[in-house]
Amino acid sequence: MKKTFKIEGLECANCAAKMERGIAALDGVISCQINFMTAKLTLEAEDDRLDSVLEAAQKIARKLEPGTSIKAL
């Protein structure tokens, strides 16, 4: 399943690149792309693992840039 999310509080392009790499490496992720200019995350993951992938992605985002949150569009 492919979905797009808004990343609130994203202020660093380097952090966005690190988030993208970290999220892409998660089990169940098929593809991951973060657009820093629009602060959007496009995530494709296995249908049955999307919730756990999103939870792990949230942890990665907060670790790299505290105060960020990933919200559904």
How far apart CA 62 and CA 1 sit, in angstroms, is 23
Tell me: the pLDDT tens digits for 14-60? Answer: 999 999 999 999 999 999 999 999 999 999 999 999 999 999 999 99
pLDDT of residue 23: 98
Confidence at residue 65, expressed as pLDDT on a 0 to 100 scale:
95
pTM of the shown model: 0.93
- DSSP state string for 11-23: --HHHHHHHHHHH
Query: What is the predicted pLDDT for the residue at 32?
Result: 97
Predicted local distance difference test score (pLDDT) of residue 5: 98
Residue 49 DSSP one-character state: G
Residue 59: both structure tokens together: 């942890």
Break the chain into its structural domains and give their ranges. 2-64
pLDDT at 41: 98
Q: What is the CATH number of domain 2-64?
A: 3.30.70.100
